[in-house]
Structure 1
Amino acid sequence: MTEPADPPRLSNNGPPLDDDPRPWGANGIGTYFEWAAAQKAAFDVPYDIALLRARRAEKLGLTYDEYSLEILERGRFLNAEDAERIAAIKRRRPL
């Protein structure tokens, strides 16, 4: 049995971003389920908070996921004064 190859230097050992036929990639299936559970925990908020975030996101022209990711990644609640950051988020959207 061969040892799995070391991940690339900047890898966080998460699931692959390409179209690998195995959604868990080469790191083993356990990693996939750990990441899936972590993602669910990050977005699993009480209904009232989810509704509040959805309304705020809609007012800013963002999706719920974009707004929530900003909170999770930067710890910031966006508002109308953050027009430059909101524009940067919108530019990252796929065409």
Structure 2
Amino acid sequence: MSREAAAPGLGHNGGPPLEDPDPDAGYRAYVWRRAHRKAWKTPPPEIALRRLARAEELGMSYKAYTLEILERGRYL
């Protein structure tokens, strides 16, 4: 480890951090990755074709249209 990385910054008193590390950060990252994978999993062909047709009507790409559905929780 380099000396600059080990030394505390200017004005630092060398005490413990004010905020405790988050013990659930790893679990939340796991849950987020799992939900992200599930959300972007390829849907059945009927749904994909319907979304593609609607996206083309709106002048959007399939991915942008799907992202809007996922963000808003409803169809445009």
Deviation at 1:39, TM superposition (A): 1.3
Change (3 A) 1:64 1:34: same
Q: How does 1:46-61 map to 2 (within 5 A)?
A: 46-61=44-59
**Counterpart for residue 35 of structure 2:** 38
**Counterpart for residue 76 of structure 1:** 74
TM-score by length of 1: 0.42
Max Rg structure:
2
Deviation at 1:34, TM superposition (A): 1.9
Structure 1 counterpart of 2:31, one-letter code: E
TM-score by length of 2: 0.50
- Uncovered stretches (5+) of structure 2, i.e. residues with no partner: 1-16
Following the alignment from structure 1 to structure 2, what is the Cα–Cα distance between the partners of residues 63 and 36? Answer: 24
Change (3 A) 1:4 1:37: same
- Uncovered stretches (5+) of structure 1, i.e. residues with no partner: 7-12, 14-26, 79-95
Deviation at 1:69, TM superposition (A): 2.5
The alignment yields a C-alpha RMSD, in angstroms, of 2.7
**How many pairs are equivalent?**
56
